Amino acid sequence: MNKVNHIAIIMDGNGRWGKQKAKNRNIGHQNGVKVIEKIVQASIKLKIPILTFYTFSSENWKRPKKEIVFLFNLIKYYFTKEINNLVKNSIKINIIGNIKPLPKNVKICLIDSMKKTKKCNKILVNLAINYGSQNEIIETTKKIYKNKIPINMKNFEKNLYTKNIVNPDILIRTGGKKRLSNFLLWQMAYTELYFVNKLWPDFKINDYNKIINNFKKVKRNYGNI
């Protein structure tokens, strides 16, 4: 039976859900946060040590400015409000991606959240913010070249955003789309992919458990017969 060490999630469908329910994409983002909380708590109970959520891609800057501002304010509001609960529940926060272009107050809030949860050890929650896997691979290649170290798998993985983090066993993408959208392309070479038609705010713990139970029975060959 396969052990689950790391689950990556593309939370697609928040905007569509908001438009369907209230003609407002931002309502979908607000409800999407509630699902994240439920998934994190369920993962702690299941003793899954690592989650990675695709929170804001490097391509999401193309969205309407009002929606981008709302998303960043939502992130800042959540961590300002919930940081004590995160520490209390021993949830470690880690950010992967290039946060330099983010608004200063959001950047400070994220860095502060990482510092305050540094010693938490029940679960590691990675948030991919201003993240794009192709950019990550290019930047990693530049680092290796600049530092004049041998090019091999081990050195490459040491210089990714996800250094020292085991690669995902499972990818879950909600929203009915069947693509990776520039998310953890290197890291998901042998990840089991699960595409769900439900929009993210409609994703339930029962759906989550079904995927995990299915994964546990999958034969993982890694190129072998």
Residues marked as catalytic: 12, 60
Give backbone dihedrals phi and psi of 105, rounded to 5 degrees, phi first. Answer: -65, -35
The encoded tokens of residue 46 equal: 């299941």
What DSSP string describes 82-132? Answer: HHHHHHHTTEEEEEES--TTS-HHHHHHHHHHHHHTTT--SEEEEEEEEE-
Of 210, 27, 2, 4, which Cα lies nearest the Cα of 123? 4
Tell me which residue of 66, 11, 1 sits closest to 208, measured CA to CA: 11
Tokens of 73: 């304010």
The conformation of residue 7, written as its DSSP 8-state character, comes to E
Distance CA 28, CA 20 (A): 9
Q: Which helix (H) or strand (E) is 192 found in, with range? A: strand 192-195
Orientation of helix 65-88 relative to helix 25-45, angle to 10°: 30
Report the residue count for the chain.
225
